[in-house]
A and B are shown apart, each in its own frame.
Chain A
């Protein structure tokens, strides 16, 4: 596609429920990233996928968070047993080289 597509754009969930966030990167981009941005804060790195290599999961805050990337394209970020502190905007980005990331519009997650 022309840009990075994320869905849903907004998600309200009850504490303890699982959620899945989806990212469809730009076609041909080999690298895909997930970041989290809490209200008024900077960007927190979560996970990075590069081609067929093992993902860099060093930023995942707990074992409730996981992500996968199927076929080197679409990625899903899963948060199990959501907590209120998980409320944030989850941003996905992809890149095909040194020219920087292209970000999606984000998923705003609210845990109530």
Chain B
């Protein structure tokens, strides 16, 4: 079974700092997705990465995909409090289901 690992699981960072969340997966895939979940809310799609070397940016977040290394990163630049949430990566290998990572709970401290 495909395994998707995120690290760190918990991240507390100060406003204005940069940090990277890592998503490793155990089998070949060209499709990786990042989602954001606020407490008590559902999941919101952030990025769709569909090929090796894909890079997407939205505001202070940038996601990239290295399919050879089976690694995706979510980079946070100059964090602000509004970014506090749980971030999930998900991998699609066969179009049948997504395999989700365990999530990274991000807290941005003023």
Contacts and interface: CB of A to CB of B under 8 A. Distances in A.
Nearest to A104: B42
Given A100-B33, A100-B48, A105-B41, A43 B97 contact: no
Interface string B93-104: 001111111110
B2 to A, nearest CB: 11
Interface string A56-82: 100100000000000000000000000
B23 to A, nearest CB: 12
A66 to B, nearest CB: 18
Interface size grouping (class) on chain A: 20 to 34
A98 B92 contact: yes
Interface in A71-106: 91, 93, 98-106
A104 B43 CA distance: 8
B26 interface: no
B5 to A, nearest CB: 11
A48 B44 CA distance: 20
Contacts of A7: none
A60 to B, nearest CB: 13
Interface of B: 31, 33, 35, 41-45, 48, 50, 88, 90, 92, 95-103
Nearest 5 A/B pairs, CB to CB: A43-B100, A103-B43, A103-B42, A100-B33, A42-B102
